[in-house]
Chain A
Amino acid sequence: MAGERLLDVKDLEVSFYTYAGKVHAVRGVSFHVNRGETLAIVGESGCGKTVSVQSTIKLIPMPPGKIEGGTVLFDGKDLTAMSDRDLQSVRGAEIGVIFQDPMTSLNPTMTVGRQITEGLIKHQKLSAEKARQRAIEMLSLVEMPNPRERFRQYPHQFSGGMRQRVMIAIALSCNPKLLIADEPTTGLDVTIQAQILDLMKSLQTRMNTSIILITHDLGVVSKLADRIVVMYAGKVAEAGSSEDIFYDAQHPYTQALLKSVPRLHEEARRDLLAIPGTPPDLFVPPKGCAFAPRCGYAMRVCLDHQPGAFPAGDNHAVACWLMDPRAAHVRDGHAGRAEAAGARGGAS
């Protein structure tokens, strides 16, 4: 059902040309977002989550960045082929973005109100007064106390959590079809994090927006995501429904991620914790599977050939040679996985 798909990204390739050389940051990434759903993108720092998502509306700095391949279909339009002028009418109007750091994402010399009305005036052609009313409405919608007062104030008069609410108000002011939230709660304290996430969730149901949520926090993912994309070293390692990923993870990297989540939540940071080893250097992308040096199952084929995406059920795909029928016996040697691997071998 292609009409269900709001955003469909195929084979995205992005590189950065730096003084030190070319960084192949995104290496053939495909993912999609259905209407009204929340897609979570997880993966270690530097694996290309932000770049993948920002490239869809060309928000990455170019140069040094360059989108070298792939297509991005959004609501039937091909964003990669669009002129910058046409993209301007998509950004902010149909796709809203919330960035990671609320302390630096707002212009310090402009009133918060003006920063909200700016987009409204541009995209919805509202008069200044109408835009003001709408902005105040948005501020109350994101549960900002005294919205009228707040409208006239500057960002430094707001706390981090309140600034993130302002960012949400800006991002949602034009009723976008898609909201990109790139680690929206990093750097906020735990109770505020929960409030912001609840707020996003409730606004999503109210406005029927789709959300791409980038986060390090698997706890958040389990609460909010309908589907999950796991990225590793500029590629998609595994993609599937929330259920697929949490209860039927097939990729060794996904499995390692899930194991690394500390059980004592709350006080411990629920970041993606130590998996031994480090991701590869994307100046020199590996020939085979990027996870091989850290993977307990690595086979000879893994070193020389990139694994393709193997289907592991409806909408569940895994980029790992273990999914190849010929490798069905490999996991048998590893305790605890024998049965699962056997069952899968039979199915595929």
Chain B
Amino acid sequence: MLAALWIIVTATFFLMHSIPGDPFLGDKVTEAIRQNMLRKYGLDKPLWEQYVIYLGNLLRGDFGTSLKMLHRSVNDMIRDGFPVSALLGLEALAYAVTIGLVLGTLAGFRHNTWLDYLAMFVALIGISVPGFIMGGLMQYVIGLKLGWLPIARWEGFRYTIMPAAALGLGTLAVMARMMRTSVLEVTNQDYIKTAKAKGLSQREIVFRHILRNAILPIVTILGPLTAGIVTGSFVIELIFGIPGLGKYYVQSIFNRDYTLILGTTIFYAVLLVFLNFLVDVAYGIVDPRIRLMRSRE
């Protein structure tokens, strides 16, 4: 885990420095001032020395200060930006999970009916249209033409609905399709026939025997799906003008804001690892086979 992090830090560090240009090149400053600034931030030192200094600071939990954002510390920016991003991501995930699962379940039980076709059509759109295009479309139609929801910014729940929907749509679509397949598959399992042979009603069979088993494969892909939401949030935050960490992250790359790039990359890496861990735990809870394997270790 720590080794993986070290590799990510190192790779990011050197890749980032291999991008042509530096943080101050585009600014309208004289060459002398630019040299001064580089010296101030230690960017005139040899690369390996910068690297060692950075690692040293990192071990003390210090991500350094942003090179562009009015000298704010990266730690502060993460502290301010992350809650916003987390809220957006969780809301998107909530939409994706609830609506996706319900849609997929209905499609599975009513398969080859109009409901199924409709659900799968929605899913197809969700999978093939990227979130930022959907976001732009929603801004135009729902925000501008219909005026139902605010187009951008982040000033209350109403502001969160559109970006969260745009961000969650792809995941929602994947969930709906997987859940449909899964429901169909579980319904044909022998143990469902056993349940029927016991004299259970269709309702009891669905809620006690089908749904829980159908959800298992969904939980396994929850890891990659949440990762998709995290990465998707970068662009969504940008186009909706949301002051989240993702927006900083994207800007930091355009700005060659070295410390911010490194800080956010490390933060996201840790976040993804942690999310995957959560998914593993969740999987253990729903699947007794995994749970027991763990307890034996």
Interface residues of A (CB under 8 A from B): 57, 59, 61, 84-85, 87-93, 96-97, 99, 101, 104-111, 115, 118-119, 122-123, 154, 156-157, 167, 170-171
> In this complex, what residue of A is CB-closest to B215?
A109
Check if A89 sits within 8 Å of B194, measured CB to CB: no
Report A-chain residues with C-beta under 8 Å of the C-beta of B196. 59, 91
With most chain B CB atoms within 10 A of its CB, the pick from A84, A90, A99 is A99
Check if B193 sits within 8 Å of A118, measured CB to CB: no
- For the complex, give the distance between the alpha carbons of A149 and B197 in Å: 26
B38 in the interface (beta carbon within 8 A): no
Check if A88 sits within 8 Å of B194, measured CB to CB: no
Check if A108 sits within 8 Å of B194, measured CB to CB: no
- For the complex, give the distance between the alpha carbons of A101 and B209 in Å: 18
Interface residues of B (CB under 8 A from A): 188-191, 193-202, 204, 208-209, 212-213, 216, 286-289, 292
Besides A122-B200, A123-B199, 6 other A-B contacts (C-beta < 8 A): A92-B199, A99-B193, A105-B193, A109-B216, A118-B198, A156-B292
> B213 touches which one: A88, A96, A109, A167 (CB < 8 A)?
A109
Task: List the 8 closest pairs (A to B, CB-CB), nearest first.
Answer: A92-B199, A91-B199, A92-B198, A97-B197, A104-B190, A119-B198, A107-B191, A154-B288
> In this complex, what residue of A is CB-closest to B289?
A156
Q: How would you classify the secondary structure of chain B's contact residues: helix, strand, loop or mixed?
A: helix
> A108 touches which one: B198, B201, B288 (CB < 8 A)?
B288
- For the complex, give the distance between the alpha carbons of A344 and B193 in Å: 45
**Distance to closest chain B CB from A157 (angstroms):** 7
- For the complex, give the distance between the alpha carbons of A122 and B201 in Å: 10
Q: Known contacts A157-B292, A170-B194; decide if A108 and B213 are in contact (CB<8 Å).
A: yes
**Distance to closest chain A CB from B229 (angstroms):** 27
> A105 touches which one: B190, B201, B204, B287 (CB < 8 A)?
B190
Check if B195 sits within 8 Å of A107, measured CB to CB: yes
> In this complex, what residue of B is CB-closest to A173?
B198
> In this complex, what residue of B is CB-closest to A119?
B198
Check if B288 sits within 8 Å of A88, measured CB to CB: no
Report A-chain residues with C-beta under 8 Å of the C-beta of B198. 91-92, 118-119, 122, 170
- For the complex, give the distance between the alpha carbons of A156 and B289 in Å: 7
Report A-chain residues with C-beta under 8 Å of the C-beta of B212. 109-110
Report A-chain residues with C-beta under 8 Å of the C-beta of B200. 88, 92, 118-119, 122
> B199 touches which one: A119, A156, A167 (CB < 8 A)?
A119
Check if A57 sits within 8 Å of B197, measured CB to CB: yes
Check if A93 sits within 8 Å of B199, measured CB to CB: yes
Check if B209 sits within 8 Å of A107, measured CB to CB: yes
**Distance to closest chain B CB from A133 (angstroms):** 19
Report A-chain residues with C-beta under 8 Å of the C-beta of B288. 108-109, 111, 154, 156
Check if A104 sits within 8 Å of B199, measured CB to CB: no
Report B-chain residues with C-beta under 8 Å of the C-beta of A157. 292
Check if A108 sits within 8 Å of B199, measured CB to CB: no
